[in-house]
Each structure stands twice: as C-alpha cells, then as structure tokens.
Structure 1
Amino acid sequence: MPKRKPGLRAAQKEATGKAVLEAAREEFERVGFEAANLRAIAARARVSAGTVLHHYGDKRELLHAALFDDLDETLRRALAEPGTGPLETQLSKLTRTVFQYYQQRPKLSRTLLKESLFADEPWARKFNAQVHMVHGALARLAEEASARGELRPGVDGAVFAVAYFSFFYFALISWVQGAHGSPEALVEHLVRQHLEGLRPIRKPLRNPPRRSDP
C-alpha cells in the first residue's frame, strides 16, 4: 500500500482539526460547555473520540481552541477591511462585524467572554495577544483620523483605543446579560459621544462682518 505524501497528510490533519472545532462550537452552543461531551463532538465531526483527544487533549483545551480560532479569524477579517470614510464609519463597521460573530452563537458568546478574560496559560497569553492586535489597529485608525483633521492634532490613539474597548465590553456584557438588545447601537452612540470631545476646536469669529444695507 503506497504511503501518503507528507503534504496530503498535513492537509488531512488540518481538515480534521477544523471539522472538530466546528463540531465543538455547535455542540457547546447546543447544550453548553458543562453538558457537552467529547463523544458527541466526535460524532458530529465524524471522527473517533480518540482523534479529538489526539488533536486537542481534554474538553477545556478544545473549548479554548474552538473559541480562539473562530474569534481570531473574525477579528483579522474585520481589521483587514476597515473600509473608507470617517473614523466613526470605520469603527461602526468593525463593531457590527464582531458583534455579528457573537450573535450567531449567543450561548457560546457567554462562555467566550468568561474564558477569554479569565483563561489560564497558554490561552491567557493568546487571548491577550488578540486584544493587543485590536488595540494597535484602533490606535492607528484614531491617529490617521487626527492626521486627516477629523480629530484634534496630537490625539493619543492608544488612549482612544482603551476608551473604545471600554464601550465595547460594556455593551457586550449588557447584551449577554439580556440588559440591552442592540449592543452595536449602544457602542456607536458611546463612540459618537466620545468623538465629539476630540473634534478640532473651531474658534468663533470675534468680529463677524456686518451685513451692508442695500
């Protein structure tokens, strides 16, 4: 029997891994993390439970991998295409793209929020790297808006990015707790209000020209 080529084996391994992660996301969303079991996840992915263990170890490792992989892809796609136009428009697109991800699986989103904030190593480091990636992108968008004249000169992009995160997480927590039904609109309102304080200050004319009589 001919041996499989290394490239083919790697591709099959990657495909199996993706199938397991997608099956895990579906099962975690359906029954919750605590009730989910590896056999059910393996059945969804059409692999053996041993294959799941071989790829990801235990159920919590599988949870972290499933959450990180999906969110990372969403974030990178959103940041790669911020769109054109004013900063407010770019941030609105980013906000809606990420919230669409959360809203697709509301139960899993609650788990994601908890696990990404309080994960153990090495996942804490990986989730923190995601935050730093988004923080850097937001800071650049703010600094570019300042260079265009949308915001005052010298606006601290890093501080603005922290403000955006505070708005985003407040809306996300409100949504997962059922306290707010439209988190995107809440973030956009908070961002708009914050940006008003960063706009260039326009000085009024001291002696406006008088209207001459005909």
Structure 2
Amino acid sequence: MMLRENQKATRRDLQKEETRRLILESAYVLFQQHGYDLTTMRQLASHCGVGLGTLFKHFPDKPAILVAAFEEDIGAILARAFKTLPKKNIHQQLKHVLSDIYGYYAKNQALSRVLVKESLFLAGPAGEIVHTQTMAFLEKIGLLFIDAAQRKEIAPIDDAMEVAIGFWSFYLLGLTVGLRDSEFKVDARVAMVGTLLHSHYPLLTK
C-alpha cells in the first residue's frame, strides 16, 4: 500500500513539474510575441491549455514567472559554471562564468532582452528574490577574488563585495552590448570584459 501511494505521489510531482515547465515555456513564447506588459495571465492559460486556477497555483502573477526563470534557468547555469571552474587564474575563472551566462542569453536573444529588461526593475517580493539571488552571486564572485589574492595572483583587496560589484558592472556592460547587437557574439563579449578585468585587476603572476 505504501509503495503504491509513493508511486502516485511521484507521478503527481512529475505531472506538476511538467505543467510548470509548460507554463514557463508558453510564457516565454508570449513574452516574445506580445511583450511582457501586454501578455495577460488569461492568454497564458489559454496558450498552454490549462485552467486559470491551475496557472495561479503555479505562478500567482507575471513577476513570479520572471523569478522562476532566474531561479531555475539562470540558477542551473550558475551552479554548473561554478562547479566546473578552472582551479586558478581569476581572469580565466571569471571568463568561464561569463561564457556560460552569456551563452544562455545568446541562445534566445529576443527572449533574453525581455527577461533582462523586466527583471532589472522588478519591485515587491519578486524584486526582493532577484536581489537576493544577485547578492548571492556577487558573494561567490567576491570569494573568487579573495582566493586569487591569497594565491597572490592579484594585489590584496580591502573589500571583496566592492570588487565584485565592479565585476558586476563589467558583466552588465557586456550583457547589454551583446543583447543590443544583431547577434550576441559570446566570445567577443567575454573578451571585452576580459580586457576590463586585465586593466582593473592585473595579474601579478602569469
């Protein structure tokens, strides 16, 4: 009896996850076709073939969909990037992270423009979640700089978060230029940020 109940629970969980993914993918399509502001939750429910009540169970509003995109898609990209970091050379480590993130945005440039534009100015609980995720990312970047300084790759740093925010500004510059281009050329944008890194945080060792 317990086994059958567990199997039923597993099937329900899988079905919920499939529905959630279907809603997200449908939202991405509609955001590209109509824009974020003009897409309604009713349109979204109709497009993915679920009831409005089912849609609201998964996502109470459109900002929640943007948060999900960052938590699930960007979160997975970042987890993989940090897991596969080069062992040393802060510049190579940061360019490795940039390459993975930019690669994600480059795959669907039109959608990425919508996601980035809307997420930057999210307010309320959704905005707080994105802000928390951003700060967690910057803390990891700060730790990379601390480790690099301890390895004597770069000069000692006084404030890791300040340095991480400096990197964040370079990252946003590369992302903005890439998204504005007719084609997001990942290698070119990573190289551009790499030049800024060499200028502001030169390596002490080769």
Q: For the superposition of Structure 1 and Structure 2, which TM-score range results when normalised by the shorter chain?
A: 0.7 to 0.9
1:147-199 CA deviation, whole Å, 9 max, x = no partner? 11211245543222111001111222233333985322211111121122x63
Tell me what 1:65 maps to: 68
SS in 1 for 2:87: coil
Tell me what 1:183 maps to: 189
1:28-84 CA deviation, whole Å, 9 max, x = no partner? 234432454546644664534442233213444334433443222222222232222
User: 2: distance between equivalents of 1:26 and 1:83?
Assistant: 36
Relative to total residues, which structure has the larger helix share, 1 or 2?
A: 2
CA drift at 1:125: 1.2
Q: Which runs of 5+ in 2 are unaligned?
A: none
152-161 or 167-176: bigger deviation:
152-161
User: 2: distance between equivalents of 1:86 and 1:80?
Assistant: 15
1:105-159 CA deviation, whole Å, 9 max, x = no partner? 2222222222222111211111111111111111111111111121124554322
Tell me what 1:94 maps to: 97
Aligned residues: 198
Higher RCO by CA contacts (8 Å cutoff, separation 6 or greater): 2
Give me the TM-score of the superposition, normalised by structure 2. Answer: 0.79
Give me the TM-score of the superposition, normalised by structure 1. Answer: 0.77
Computed over aligned residues only, the root mean square deviation of the Cα atoms, in angstroms, reads 2.9
Task: Read off the aligned partner of 1:183 and give its amino acid letter.
Answer: R
**Pair 157,63 (structure 1): closer, same or farther in 2 beyond 3 Å:** closer
> Are residue 84 (structure 1) and residue 94 (structure 2) matched?
no
> Are residue 9 (structure 1) and residue 33 (structure 2) matched?
no
Q: Which runs of 5+ in 1 are unaligned?
A: 201-214
Answer yes or no: is the 8 Å Cα contact 2:41–2:62 preserved in 1.
Answer: yes
User: 1: distance between equivalents of 2:65 and 2:141?
Assistant: 30
